[in-house]
Amino acid sequence: MVSGTTKLVGLIGDPVAHSLSPLMHNSAFQAMRMDWAYLPLHVLPGNLRDALRGIHSLGFLGVNVTVPYKERVLPFLDGLSDQAKRIGAVNSISMVEGRFLGDNTDWSGFLRDLAELRFHPQGSRALILGSGGSARAIAYALLSERVTVTICARNTATLPGLVGHFRKLFPGRLTEPLTYENLHDVRIEADIIVNTTPLGMAPHAGLSPWPEAVAFPHCALAYDLVYNPPKTRFIELAEANGVKAVNGLGMLIHQAALAFEIWTGASAPLEIMRKAVTAC
């Protein structure tokens, strides 16, 4: 039960109703007998600045940030971790002495999940679908592991900036970017394909970022950051072509555990968090 002494954290995004983060964090707080609560906060476009002011006024100690605000939130923050600066996107905010400090736990959560899946990315080739804040975190994670990365996106307005940013950080690691229109004309050579777009998640359930008219490439792993629903059209297309495919639930758990530790200073009860969301 939330009381006048309860410490508040939460999630801001649009949408947030699909998110398993409240269940996961609140299960962890309950198991550890901590008087904390995690609340989903649906923030409509145009209301981001006001939402952050409200979070500050209500005494929240932190929030996670999901689509579409991982990049848009940056101008409203007072400071960034080194990783968040290098990525150019934030998925976790802490309130420290009245200041909003941005961090990114997506990239390390993704790598921790790959390790659990026994996929070792070092020296491999990756295709990333999307060019938003999640794409930035995944690109940073893979490039840090000496992966050769190709980015494919519909949004040609954001694609050059993303590619230019990471070419400066990791010279020689990014190939020429692709658009969905020229997927028909190129041969995809990748060991891992990662969907970082919201396609497949409500209100886009049933849609795939991979074009239905293009054969799904042979690769070792197809990874969909969408986890609700657990089997997206992207995963179905991969599996129909004999490719191992997983959703982003593992990454969700690991990035949440890292955020939990940033906010509380306590070790996250990882298995309790995992059990809470895998039992759904």
Q: Which residues are catalytic?
A: 70
Question: What's the rounded Cα separation, in Å, for the pair 138 and 45?
Answer: 24
Tokens of 78: 């007072």
Say if CB 80 and CB 101 are below 8 A apart. Answer: yes
Say if CB 172 and CB 179 are below 8 A apart. Answer: no
Question: What's the rounded Cα separation, in Å, for the pair 34 and 85?
Answer: 31
Q: Which residues contact 189 (CB under 8 A, 6 or more apart)?
A: 125, 217
Q: Which residues contact 246 (CB under 8 A, 6 or more apart)?
A: 117, 221, 222, 223, 224, 235
Tokens of 255: 């990035």
Q: Which residues contact 215 (CB under 8 A, 6 or more apart)?
A: 241
Beta strands in the chain (DSSP E): 7-13, 36-42, 62-65, 79-80, 92-96, 99-103, 125-129, 148-153, 178-179, 192-195, 221-224, 245-247
